[in-house]
Amino acid sequence: MSTTDATQTADNAIGFIGLGNMGGPMAKRLVEAGYSVTVFDLVPEAVERVVADGAKPAASARECVEGADVVLTSLPRPDHVQALMSGNGSGDSGLLSSLEPGTVWVDLTTNRKELVAELAASAPEGVTVVESPVTGAVDGARTGNLTLFIGGDDADLDRVTPILDHLGKVIRCGPLGTGNVVKLVTNQLWFVAAAALGEGFAVGMANGVELPTLWDAILNSVGDSFVARHDAPSIFAGHYDPSFSLDLCLKDLGLLAELGENVSAELPMTTAAHGAFAAAAERYGADVGELHVAKRIEDDAGLSMRMDGDWVPHWEK
């Protein structure tokens, strides 16, 4: 662990665990920002990619956090975080217990707020926890244009913000838990809009309008949105965006359903979006891209939403 003031951020040694679609490019950006970044993933190729960019490989999660001032995790689901940080229930102690006093653990995973709180409460003396789920997709992770929803104690947020600034815009949400609530609300709105995209195209096409005309009209009307611009091209290109799986969509929708239980009202749009993504996963499997929610409508309606265009996949931008 470095002996300098942790706020002198480039002096912070970083341990980064989980180098998938989001974690890989985020770790690369921190290397490029001048940090010493040690990385670990269960998939050796994921480690090799980031090591080629200048990170140091670790042979295990435990080795990855040795000497780290700040530990970052970007894992798929809460159960992955729980297994890694608090142990697998079969005798292995979790990583959290091995962190040295003075270490901050920043969880970039979209996670269950109760789990984050539980883990924070069980952290060793002097180890603190910040949540920082992100939005902005793989292109945002590559280009440093994510939005990060941070929650935790002010002093810890002050300490890690200069590091997270290299990844995008940091929004302070409040105490631990609020970051994941805010992140999930932004996804709630995305799920509803994304599920509606294919429906809009289907209604237009089934009633005699060409897809290019619909697209032009959407871009120049109240139908325009970030979701339309960022995600409809994945439908037109026919890859349906494999960089965010239906499995992760359903994880977030499940977490949203839990948060919705605290609202004393029906949430029909959110419930309908959940149903639409679940139906797509049932039809095509959970490992496929998120916009299969639109493919299901194409297939059921006998329509093709392929359209010629310069649809550079966002993760290659």
* Residue with the CB atom nearest ligand NAD in the bound state: 20
Known catalytic residue at 56: no
Q: Please, what is the minimum distance in Å from the beta carbon of residue 181 to ligand NAD? A: 15
Q: Please, what is the minimum distance in Å from the beta carbon of residue 50 to ligand NAD? A: 11
CA distances 282 to 95, 246, 250, 278, Å, are 35, 10, 11, 6
d(CA 175, CA 220): 40
Please check whether residue 10 is in contact with residue 38, taking contact to mean a CB–CB distance below 8 angstroms: no
Q: Please, what is the minimum distance in Å from the beta carbon of residue 93 to ligand NAD? A: 14
Nearer to ligand NAD, 218 or 253 (CB): 253
3-class secondary structure, 186: helix
Alpha helices in 3-101 (DSSP H): 23-32, 44-52, 61-65, 78-86
Q: Please, what is the minimum distance in Å from the beta carbon of residue 130 to ligand NAD? A: 15
User: Residue 265 is which amino acid?
Assistant: A
Q: Which of 28, 113, 183, 251 is catalytic?
A: 183
Q: Please, what is the minimum distance in Å from the beta carbon of residue 298 to ligand NAD? A: 22
Nearer to ligand NAD, 184 or 214 (CB): 184
Neighbours of 222 (CB within 10 A): 6
* Chain residues in the site for ligand NAD (CB under 6 A): 17-23, 40-43, 46, 61, 74-76, 80, 84, 109-110, 134-135, 137-138, 243-244, 248
Nearer to ligand NAD, 194 or 205 (CB): 194
Neighbours of 123 (CB within 10 A): 18
Residue whose token pair is 């060409």? 210
Q: Please, what is the minimum distance in Å from the beta carbon of residue 28 to ligand NAD? A: 13
User: What dihedral angle (degrees, nearest 10) is formed by the CA atoms of 43, 117, 157, 168?
Assistant: 40
Beta strand 146-151 with 168-174 is parallel
CB environment 72-90: b (16+ within 10 A), e (fewer): bbbbbbbebbbbbbbeeee
Question: 59: which 2 tokens?
Answer: 């042979």
CA distances 61 to 89, 181, 245, Å, are 17, 27, 25
Nearer to ligand NAD, 18 or 198 (CB): 18
> Which residues are catalytically annotated?
183
